[in-house]
Amino acid sequence: MKISELGTEQGFRSLQSDYADRGLGGGYTSDLLSDVMANAKSEGVLVTIQAHKNTVAVASLIGIAAIVICNGRPVPDDMIEAARAEGVAVFHTDKSQFEVSGLLWPALGAGTEGAAPRA
């Protein structure tokens, strides 16, 4: 599944499209950025309600390719600006993290299953 398909296939609203479109390698769902830093994988999608510019900083630190902000949480402008500067895709949806994770699992679950968390 490519990053852009989060919009075209899943119907999530793209908030920031300055990114290199490429295949996603799995995903991680969490609202605690300390947990994301410890356990998310690079080149994956992050499913979260944590709409803050630090989410982008953590994503670029790890190499997370795309962020899906769930539950219709408002996304501050400085987060979108940071994502543009870092080339991280940002999508927005009214669906919950549970729903979004379920929707993405068939396409991305294989990249996540059995993957050991980063040390």
Partner 1 sequence: MRTRGVLADLHNHSCLSPCASLEMSPSLLARRARERGIEVLGLTDHNGALNCPAFAEACRREGIVPVFGLEACSLEEVHVLCLFGSAAAALAFGERLLGSLPRLPYDPEKLGDEVVVDADEGVLDLPDYYLGAALELGFDELCLAASGSGALVVPAHVDRPMFSVSSQLGFLPPGPYAAVEAMRDPDPSLRGGFAVVSGSDAHVPEHVGRRAFEVELDPEALAAGRSGGGAEFLAALGAALRKGAVLPSWARAGTAAGSPRAPGAA
Of 48, 97, 70, 68, residue with least CA distance to 5: 68
Residue with tokens 């549970």: 98
By CB under 8 A, which span of 48-56, 64-72, 85-93, 94-102 interacts with partner 1?
A: 48-56
Among 15, 36, 46, 68, binds partner 1 (CB under 8 A): 36
CB of 40 to partner 1, least distance (A): 11
Q: Does 54 bind partner 1 (CB under 8 A)?
A: yes
User: What is the Cα–Cα distance from 57 to 79, expressed in whole angstroms?
Assistant: 9
Site string for partner 1, 55-94 (x = CB under 8 A): --xx--------------xx-x-x----------------
Nearer to partner 1, 33 or 90 (CB): 33
Q: Which residues contact 54 (CB under 8 A, 6 or more apart)?
A: 33
Helix extents (H) in the chain = 5-8, 33-39, 53-62, 77-86, 97-108
- Which residues, 87 to 116, sit near partner 1 by CB under 8 A? none
State the angle between helix axes of 77-86 and 53-62 in degrees (0 to 180), rounded to the nearest 10: 20
Which residues of the chain form contacts with partner 1 (CB under 8 A)?
31-34, 36-37, 50-54, 57-58, 73-74, 76, 78
